[in-house]
């Protein structure tokens, strides 16, 4: 093929990377060379009908979805909504964002691209600024019973997000963590949207939004947590409804699941009694090291009762911070190897069951309809972000790059502007 006319096959590459497969792995599965797979993806060599058939069977995709028709210049029938229709449908989701990107990994990263580093010698509570200590003392006076309960939890039962950096040597994102517990988090973050926390909020707003991308240490408690969109094999988003008695976002719907990272299972302090189920769903290895895949897999197991999550089906898209609480979340999209019916049935028996379960077809029309429906009257602050990410990933996997580009533009609306004034209106 002439170098002036070659067209990279991004759909084929995306499908391979979405499975977590190397070019060598694909080459072995279709009985060709690694160099040939590279040439197909770069558009240097056309994929013959023989290998197209093999690749379609391997990935469970059509020739159109793997980008072969587009690469040939074959006109593909326009059976999808026009780009402007997709944008018009979904623009209401980004008009008033309830969260902001603080680090965005546009193409998504594999689990192996992220390294967790845990420093057990860093104790955030021992170096609290005066204003933060005063906020903790005030909360404990008003919530004496709950405070005593949380004080029984040893430091290290949860994990704090310290900072992130890019390592050129390891060619990975490094996420630095330290021991934490729920006490300081629950005394601070849920109240940062209220007037009595104005001074703390104003002093740390810029650090909360820009600290991670600038390589700075976060100043707020910032427990390490995730929000994961869960997409079924038959193309549905799983939805969970929060309890009505939670302090934050009561009865709100979440697209997927959320979870704090549990600390090391073994501690020298009294048994951890008021948290979830760290012994049954560990996030650290037996050697006391944080394990990102254990965190992700066991979050699915704990909240959905599904124990078959595979690493190659998970993509990580960075960190977003909730405007109300200024709490950061690792944003994830997970494609399950089962139907939505299976996920919903297993979620009914999960250890950490939701108040209510539902599902939503992963299409622009279904998402737009749900977000304007009285039935889904309120959403968690990062839910609309992860729905759009899941939809973008689906478009790219199916070779619908124009619509994928539209999704990128919508997702850019979650990027905070420079010198952003705090958009959250403090509550009394």
Quick one: 211 and 90 in the same domain? yes
Give tens-digit pLDDT for 153-174: 888 889 999 999 999 998 999 9
Picking from 85-89, 269-273, 284-288, 348-352, which range would have the lowest pLDDT averaged per residue? Answer: 269-273
Distance, CA of 240 to CA of 37 (rounded, Å): 40
Ramachandran quadrant class, 310 (left: phi over 0; alpha: psi -120 to 50; beta: rest)? beta
pLDDT above 80 for 361: yes
User: What CATH number corresponds to the domain at position 38?
Assistant: 1.10.260.40
* More confidently predicted of 291 and 20: 291
> Residue 172: how many CB atoms within 10 A of its CB?
15
Quick one: 60 and 99 in the same domain? no
Quick one: 20 and 126 in the same domain? no
User: What CATH number corresponds to the domain at position 358?
Assistant: 3.90.79.10
* More confidently predicted of 414 and 46: 414
Instruction: Evaluate whether residue 283 is within a structural domain.
Output: yes
Contact 350, 230 (CB under 8 A): no
Instruction: Evaluate whether residue 383 is within a structural domain.
Output: yes
Quick one: 58 and 121 in the same domain? no
Provide the residue range defining the domain that includes 16.
10-72
Contact 161, 218 (CB under 8 A): yes
Quick one: 407 and 268 in the same domain? yes
Quick one: 334 and 403 in the same domain? yes
Quick one: 237 and 259 in the same domain? yes
Quick one: 152 and 174 in the same domain? yes
Instruction: Evaluate whether residue 79 is within a structural domain.
Output: no
Quick one: 211 and 118 in the same domain? yes
What pTM was estimated for this model as a whole?
A: 0.78
pLDDT confidence of residue 127: 86
Distance, CA of 257 to CA of 259 (rounded, Å): 7
H helix or E strand, kind and range, residue 67: none
Taking all residues of the chain, what is their mean pLDDT, rounded to a whole number? 88
Beta strands in 90-247 (DSSP E): 99-109, 114-118, 158-167, 172-180, 225-231, 236-241
Half-sphere exposure of 22 (CA within 13 A, CB side): 7
pLDDT above 80 for 412: yes
Picking from 69-73, 77-81, 419-423, which range would have the lowest pLDDT averaged per residue? Answer: 77-81
Q: Is residue 392 classed as helix, strand or coil in its secondary structure? A: helix
The proportion of the chain whose per-residue pLDDT surpasses 90, expressed as a percent, equals 58
Give tens-digit pLDDT for 253-275: 999 999 999 998 544 444 434 34
Ramachandran quadrant class, 326 (left: phi over 0; alpha: psi -120 to 50; beta: rest)? left
Strands 328-335 and 257-260: unpaired
Contact 39, 45 (CB under 8 A): yes
Instruction: Evaluate whether residue 423 is within a structural domain.
Output: no
pLDDT above 90 for 296: yes
Distance, CA of 110 to CA of 112 (rounded, Å): 5
Quick one: 54 and 169 in the same domain? no
Instruction: Evaluate whether residue 293 is within a structural domain.
Output: yes
pLDDT confidence of residue 9: 87
DSSP string computed for 100-141: EEEEEEEEEE-GGGEEEEE-TT--GGGG--HHHHHHHHHHHH
Give tens-digit pLDDT for 122-149: 989 888 888 899 999 999 999 999 999 8
Per-residue pLDDT band for 71 (boundaries 50, 70, 90) equals: low
Instruction: Evaluate whether residue 2 is within a structural domain.
Output: no
CA 335 to chain centre: 12
Radius of gyration of the chain (CA): 23
Quick one: 108 and 36 in the same domain? no
pLDDT confidence of residue 125: 87
Contact 126, 150 (CB under 8 A): no
Quick one: 49 and 142 in the same domain? no
Each as own residue / partner, the long-range contacts of residues 133-142 (CB below 8 Å, 24 or more positions apart, any chain) are: 135/187, 135/188, 135/191, 135/197, 135/200, 136/183, 136/184, 136/187, 136/188, 138/196, 139/186, 139/187, 139/188, 139/191, 140/187
pLDDT confidence of residue 345: 94
Q: Which two tokens stand for residue 286?
A: 């037996």
Q: Provide the domain count of the chain.
A: 2
Instruction: Identify the CA nearest to 368 among candidates 116, 94, 70.
Output: 94
pLDDT above 60 for 84: no
Q: Report residue 379: phi and psi, to 5°.
A: -125, 150
């Amino acid at each position: 093929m002439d170098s002036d006319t070659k067209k990279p096959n991004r759909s084929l590459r995306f499908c391979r990377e979405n499975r977590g497969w190397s070019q060598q792995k694909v080459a072995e599965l279709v009985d060709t060379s690694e160099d040939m797979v590279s040439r197909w993806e770069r558009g240097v060599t056309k994929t013959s009908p023989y290998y197209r058939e093999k690749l379609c069977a391997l990935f469970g995709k059509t020739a159109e979805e793997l980008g072969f028709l587009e690469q040939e210049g074959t006109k593909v029938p326009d059976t999808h909504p026009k780009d402007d229709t997709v944008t018009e449908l979904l623009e209401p989701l980004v008009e008033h964002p309830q969260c902001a990107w603080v680090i965005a990994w546009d193409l998504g990263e594999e689990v192996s691209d992220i390294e967790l580093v845990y420093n057990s010698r860093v104790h955030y509570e021992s170096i609290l600024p005066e204003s933060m200590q005063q906020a903790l003392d005030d909360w404990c006076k008003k919530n004496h019973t709950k405070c005593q309960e949380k004080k029984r939890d040893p430091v290290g039962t949860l994990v704090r997000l310290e900072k992130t950096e890019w390592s050129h040597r390891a060619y990975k994102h490094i996420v630095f963590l330290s021991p934490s517990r729920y006490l300081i988090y629950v005394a601070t973050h849920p109240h940062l949207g209220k007037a009595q926390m104005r001074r703390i909020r104003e002093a740390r707003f810029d650090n909360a939004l820009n600290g991670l991308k600038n390589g700075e240490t976060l100043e707020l408690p910032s427990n390490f947590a995730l929000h994961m969109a869960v997409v079924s094999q038959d193309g549905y988003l799983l939805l969970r409804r929060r309890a009505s008695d939670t302090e934050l976002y009561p009865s709100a719907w979440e697209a997927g699941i959320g979870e704090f990272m549990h600390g090391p299972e073994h501690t020298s302090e009294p048994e951890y009694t008021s948290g979830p189920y760290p012994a049954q769903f560990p996030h650290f290895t037996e050697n006391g090291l944080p394990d990102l895949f254990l965190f992700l897999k066991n979050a699915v197991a704990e909240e959905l009762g599904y124990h078959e999550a595979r690493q190659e089906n998970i993509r990580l898209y960075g960190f977003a911070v909730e405007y109300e609480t200024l709490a950061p979340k690792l944003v994830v999209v997970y494609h399950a190897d089962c139907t939505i019916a299976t996920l919903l049935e297993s979620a009914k028996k999960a250890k950490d069951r939701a108040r209510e379960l539902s599902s939503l077809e992963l299409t622009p029309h279904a998402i737009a309809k749900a977000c304007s429906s009285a039935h889904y009257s309120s959403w968690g602050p990062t839910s609309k972000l992860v729905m759009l990410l899941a939809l973008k990933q689906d478009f790219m996997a199916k070779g619908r790059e124009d619509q994928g580009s539209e999704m990128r533009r919508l997702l850019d609306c979650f990027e905070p502007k420079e010198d952003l004034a705090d958009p959250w209106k403090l509550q009394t």
